[in-house]
Amino acid sequence: MNRGRSTLILLALAAALGAYIWFVEMKREATDEDAPKTEKVFADLKAEAIGALELLGSNGDRTTLKKQGAGWLIEAPVQAPADASEVSGVTSNLASLDLTRVIDEKPASLEPFGLDAPRVSVAFTVGNTTRTLLLGSKTATGGDTYAKLADAPRVFTVPSWLEQSLDRTTFQLRNKAIATFDREAVDHLAIIGAPGTIEFRKQGDQWQIVQPLQARADSADVGALLTRLSSGQMQAIVAEQPATLDTYGLQPARTTVTATGGGKTLAQVFVGTPSGDTAVHMKDAARPIVFTVEKGLADDLQRTASSYRAKDLFAYRMFNLSRLVVARGDTSRTFEKKTTGSGASATDTWTQTTPPDPNVKAATIDDIASRLGTIRAEGWVDAAPAGATPVLSVVATFDGGKEERVAIVQANGRMYALRTGEPGAATLGSPAVSDVLALLDPSSAPAASAAPAPAPVPGTKP
């Protein structure tokens, strides 16, 4: 009885499996075989072979471009450099454009497809041959767009997302760079604006502030500003040939930025008045046009000199630090890094050499040096308050003999740092200094350092 029931169950499962194979898998294979093969709209077209373009955008812009060397130029309706990435997008998409479905080989009318008055057209020239693609309305589902070639009657469809990449305005096809220059070639940067004149000069791979004060600059901040100027984009072009610059607050300019390299001016831009709530007028000295940029860039150009100062209290890095002299009160201690072995087996070890003390662990010295190297300024004041008491002084030797001297003092529960050769005093977070003092002598950290820091001292440098 049970054996018969099992047999019936197995037969039922086999029948179900057979039905699945017949109705699902066989149908799937037939569907795959019947699926239309992919066909390129322009067979054998290579993007790099295209030498000229004429695009009619859905907004009515008709833009003519011509290849010149490795780049492209817009010839009409204005003469200007083209955006290489935008043009590359057009040429590569033409070369890879797939025909998704043939609608009608010889339609009686083009009106049902929106091709009697195409919204978008793209003509391209290869050698002496010009081909034109016409794009009409979208299909009912919106996934495809009706299209045809100007020299053939057949109507077919192309993917709508590709159609969007071919629908370009003149502004989109234009080089929208704020200024064109190599940021790596810049060794001097001047900003003349509301806060006054700020000048930076590059020394080696580090930036220095040279006006209105002389101090280390935050090289990352200066580099970021140069990047924004060299790679920033216009939002819109306001005037191609402005009759006057007064209208845009560009004569005189609100801010003037000049980038110099090797004694030559590489770029100069002028910032004017706001254009609406989110944009500001700007002009590149090398071109007549007036355009707009994001308001944030203009605001950054109004920063004070002190906001560009290097926040790291020390310039050394752990890999290039060789010696530390740390003094607290009447006690001075010297730590030196010594290298043992050579080649791949070389190791660096810290020791306290003055006064000699073999009980001081290398890891402790390494921790002291590391914590000192991570102390950052929270802000800047003209000078530490009168009567400030000394807390710690450090002389660091690094990078083959460079020296930097820093004195840390305390007043009214707040820590200040003074770097030899630089103006003003940096305000510090007390816990950062307390960590170092605790490593030097667990009983030496001042009690005030654990208390919350009071309000910043007034008199911050402009």
Is pLDDT larger for residue 94 or for residue 19? 94
Taking only the tens place, the pLDDT of each residue in 193-230 is 888 999 999 999 899 999 999 999 999 999 999 999 99
pLDDT in tens, 136-168: 999 988 889 999 999 999 999 999 888 888 999
Give the 3-state DSSP-derived string for the chain, with helices as H, strands as E and coil as C. Answer: CHHHHHHHHHHHHHHHHHHHHHHHHHHHHHHHHHCCCCEECCCCCCHHHCCEEEEECCCCCEEEEEEECCEEEEEECCCEEECHHHHHHHHHHHHHCEECEEEECCCCCCHHHCCCCCCEEEEEEECCEEEEEEEEEECCCCCEEEEEECCCCCEEEEEHHHHHHHCCCHHHHECCECCCCCHHHCCEEEEEECCEEEEEEEECCEEEEEECCCEEECHHHHHHHHHHHHHCECCEEEECCCCCCHHHCECCECEEEEEEECCEEEEEEEEEEEECCCEEEEEECCCCCEEEEEHHHHHHCCCCHHHHECCECCCCCCCCEEEEEEEECCEEEEEEEEEECCHHHCEEEEEEEECECCCCCHHHHHHHHHHHHCCECCEEECCCCCCCEEEEEEEEEECCCEEEEEEEEEECCEEEEEECCCCCEEEECHHHHHHHHHHHCCCCCCHHHHCCCCCCCCCCCC
pLDDT-based confidence at residue 344 (cuts at 50, 70, 90): confident
Q: Where residue 340 falls among pLDDT bands split at 50, 70, 90?
A: confident
Give me the pLDDT at residue 431, please. Answer: 83
Q: Is CATH 3.40.630 the classification given to domain 39-173?
A: no
Domain boundaries in the chain? 39-173, 183-308, 321-450
Give the separation between CA 114 and CA 210, rounded to whole angstroms.
64
Structure tokens at 113: 């497809």
Confirm whether 39-173 and 183-308 share one CATH topology. Answer: yes
CATH class of this structure's domain 183-308? mainly beta
Task: Please report the sign of the dihedral spanned by the C-alpha atoms of residue 270, residue 271, residue 276, residue 278.
Answer: positive
Judged by average pLDDT, the poorest of 177-186, 325-334, 336-345, 367-376 is 336-345
The model carries a pTM of 0.75
pLDDT digit string, tens, across residues 240-296:
999 999 999 999 999 999 999 999 999 999 999 999 999 999 999 999 999 999 999
The confidence score (pLDDT) of residue 64 equals 97
